[in-house]
């Protein structure tokens, strides 16, 4: 379904990338290796340096220091570009063209482009594929932009906030396609503020804060490192509860919740002190909670 990488060469190999804009150190000493078939999520607050990192890796900006290679070729070189799919920075498509014309035009530049039918289905373009793009909604343009990233059947795709402006259907379609792309050997680097999207697609995350990498690892390792689970049970908010429980738990949507390092011990205590509690559950933390927990520990 998707192109396979030619060898075991790393899809991305970046070392010590730094970029300053005036007084702002947008990125400092950014290093990254991405293997074929890996999906990596770059996360961080607004202004953390994510788009800057992507632009340096795409060769759209020149770093002040450091170097980056794409499948062994300098970022921004024609060799690197031929391996890469990106979404256009602004989806200001020519108003008179249709998505079919635009995608066909782009496809003609690649040796083994994706079949049009696959892109139409993957990104839900059937209703708009033959409409002129003048007047397209933000979400419609975004769907075309995402299809453009994949049209050349690339070995590596860069996606900067791919689903911003997309409706739920569009988000789900994109997530399924991106995950299938990585499972078939494609490499993917995306930025997103949607934690659930990162969890759906990515194997690994890198977190940036004020231009510096502060957390990196496979999602499973990061969850293990956080070493916490959520313990929750169903009970009315106005129940008379033991004092220790009121201090440690919060109430939300009909359930009491706590984050615990030793969930078994907490459950034993609950059963002893609150035998009436119902539907006791131990669940893993979601990515947002896991990262918040690790950041708390790093700051301590
Ligand atoms: N061309 C530029 N000129 C001046 N400052 C810039 C420029 N590009 C980025 N910056 C600054 O560099 C910092 C990093 O910006 P960047 O766009 O990489 O952040 P980001 O993590 O992608 O943020 P967001 O989540 O808001 O998109 C910010 O403080 C931003 O204002």
Question: CB of 44 closer than 6 A to ligand 1?
Answer: yes
Q: Identify the pLDDT of residue 200.
A: 93
Residue 6 above 80 pLDDT? no
For residue 89, what pLDDT band results from cuts at 50, 70 and 90? low
Q: Identify the pLDDT of residue 111.
A: 87
pLDDT in tens, 151-193: 999 999 999 999 988 999 999 999 999 999 999 999 999 999 9
| Cα(208) to centroid(ligand 1), Å | 12
Please indicate whether residue 68 or residue 248 has the higher confidence score (pLDDT). 68
81 vs 78: CA distance, rounded Å = 5
For residue 286, what pLDDT band results from cuts at 50, 70 and 90? confident
- Among residues 194, 186, 125, the alpha carbon closest in space to that of 158 is found at 186
237 vs 241: CA distance, rounded Å = 9
Percent residues over pLDDT 70 in the chain: 96
Question: CB of 26 closer than 6 A to ligand 1?
Answer: yes
For residue 293, what pLDDT band results from cuts at 50, 70 and 90? confident
- Residue with the nearest Cα to atom 28 of ligand 1? 47
Give a three-class secondary structure readout of 36-80.
CCCEEEEECCCCCCHHHHHHHHHCCCCCCEEEEEECCEECCCHHH
pLDDT in tens, 118-138: 999 999 999 999 999 999 999
Q: Identify the pLDDT of residue 278.
A: 87
- Residue with the nearest Cα to atom 18 of ligand 1? 49
- Residue with the nearest Cα to atom 29 of ligand 1? 47
Question: CB of 24 closer than 6 A to ligand 1?
Answer: yes
Give the ligand 1 atom nearest the CA of 211: 14
């Amino acid at each position: 379904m998707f192109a396979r990488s030619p060898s075991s060469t790393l899809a991305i190999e970046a070392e010590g990338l730094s970029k300053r804009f005036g007084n702002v150190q947008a990125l400092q000493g950014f290093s990254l290796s991405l293997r074929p078939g890996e999906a990596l999520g770059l996360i961080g607050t607004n202004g953390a340096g994510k788009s800057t990192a992507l632009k340096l890796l795409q060769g759209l900006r020149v770093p002040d220091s450091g170097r980056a290679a794409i499948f062994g070729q300098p970022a921004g070189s024609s060799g690197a570009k031929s391996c890469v799919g990106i979404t256009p920075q602004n989806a200001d498509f020519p108003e008179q063209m249709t998505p079919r014309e635009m995608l066909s035009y782009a496809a003609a530049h690649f040796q083994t482009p994706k079949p049009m039918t696959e892109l139409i289905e993957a990104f839900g373009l059937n209703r708009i594929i033959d409409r002129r793009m003048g007047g397209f909604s933000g979400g419609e343009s975004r769907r075309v932009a995402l299809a453009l990233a994949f049209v050349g059947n690339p070995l590596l795709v860069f996606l900067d906030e791919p689903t911003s402006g997309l409706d739920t259907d569009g988000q789900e379609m994109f997530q399924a396609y991106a995950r299938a792309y990585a499972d078939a050997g494609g490499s993917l680097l995306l930025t997103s503020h949607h934690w659930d999207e990162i969890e759906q697609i990515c194997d690994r995350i890198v977190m940036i804060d004020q231009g510096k990498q502060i957390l990196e690892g496979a999602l499973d390792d990061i969850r293990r490192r956080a070493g916490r689970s959520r313990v929750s049970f169903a009970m009315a908010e106005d129940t008379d509860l033991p004092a220790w429980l009121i201090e440690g738990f919060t109430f939300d949507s009909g359930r009491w919740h706590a984050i615990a390092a030793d969930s078994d011990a907490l459950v034993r205590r609950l059963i002893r002190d609150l035998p009436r509690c119902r539907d006791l559950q131990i669940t893993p933390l979601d990515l947002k909670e896991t990262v918040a927990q690790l950041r708390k520990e790093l700051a301590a």
